[in-house]
Amino acid sequence: MLELLLASGNPHKAQEFAALFDRQLLSVNAAPSKIEVLEDGETYFENALKKATDYYSQFKVPVISDDSGLTVEALPGELGIFSARFGGPGLSDEQRVEHLLEKLGELECEKRNAYFSCVLCFYLGPEEIYFFEGRLDGAIATEASGEEGFGYDPVFIPKNLKSRQSVACDPGWKAANSHRALACQKANLFFKERNGQKTPD
């Protein structure tokens, strides 16, 4: 089993990742302390690598990091890697959601396309670094709904969710199909093959 330190001091986030990985292959634990990392990269890949590199340098053990965000096609360049800062500093999740709805206004459904992205970086050492990416396509609703999500979940309607509800209304579906879950599924497959285990065709 490969033991990984999550580039975050948040134990809840570590538990979320632990539930998404094959426990016979990978284990994830939160870092004993949080490191402030300057996330000034221009892509999710660059920011994930920055976090992984800094945590590896500090703790000298294999690290997993992630960077994720929401891209809204009608607002090019405004979210993405800047999703957590959209609308300005100091806003709550609810305020960012409200700001997004205000920016989109009365745009028709076909012009509200969006997608969540997640990039995982496995930093096993300076010479052994792997990336895995997950993407969840959907659209931005005209109003928030659901109590179970966080961030932009209450206004994100996945393309493949038959109920056409936001992901904040169906946490079970999100746990199995989110951008983070999809990236983790790719990592599971890679490390299973890396260990010489058979995978389904």
Per residue in 57-90, pLDDT tens?
999 999 999 999 999 999 999 999 999 999 998 9
Does some domain include residue 42? yes
| pTM exceeds 0.85 for this model | yes
Provide the pLDDT confidence category of residue 110 given band limits of 50, 70 and 90: confident
Domain count, the chain: 1
Q: Which of 18-27, 95-104, 134-143 has the lowest mean pLDDT?
A: 18-27
| Residue 147 within any structural domain of the chain | no
d(CA 110, CA 69): 21
Mean pLDDT of 8-13: 76
In a domain, 100, yes or no: no
Q: Are 44 and 119 in contact (CB under 8 A)?
A: yes
Rounded to a whole number of angstroms, the CA Rg of the chain reads: 17
For residue range 12-44, what is the model confidence (pLDDT) as tens digits?
Answer: 788 888 889 988 889 999 899 989 998 999 999
* Alpha-carbon span 16 to 20, nearest angstrom: 7
Mode of pairing for the β-strands spanning 26-30 and 113-125: unpaired
Instruction: List the domain range (segments joined by +) for residue 21.
Output: 2-93+114-137+171-194
Q: Do the bridges between strand 63-72 and strand 128-140 make them parallel or antiparallel, or are there none, so unpaired?
A: unpaired
* 3 state DSSP class of 109: helix
Distance, CA of 21 to CA of 141 (rounded, Å): 31
In a domain, 160, yes or no: no
Give the pLDDT score at 83.
Answer: 95
Residue 152 counted as domain residue: no
Q: Is residue 162 part of a domain?
A: no
Whether 7 contacts 31, CB under 8 Å: yes
List the catalytic residues.
67
Helices (H) and strands (E) in the chain, counts: 5, 6
DSSP letter at 4? E
Whether residue 149 has pLDDT greater than 80: no
Helices (H), the chain: 11-20, 44-59, 93-104, 171-177, 179-194
Is 71 part of any domain?
A: yes
More confident position, 161 or 188 = 188
**Structure token pair of residue 75:** 């607002």
Distant-in-sequence, close-in-space partners of 63: CB < 8 Å, separation ≥ 6: 4, 5, 6, 7, 52, 55, 56, 121, 122, 123
- Identify whether 166 is part of a domain: no
For position 21, which CATH number holds?
3.90.950.10
Q: For residue 199, is pLDDT > 60? A: no
Alpha-carbon span 94 to 43, nearest angstrom: 25
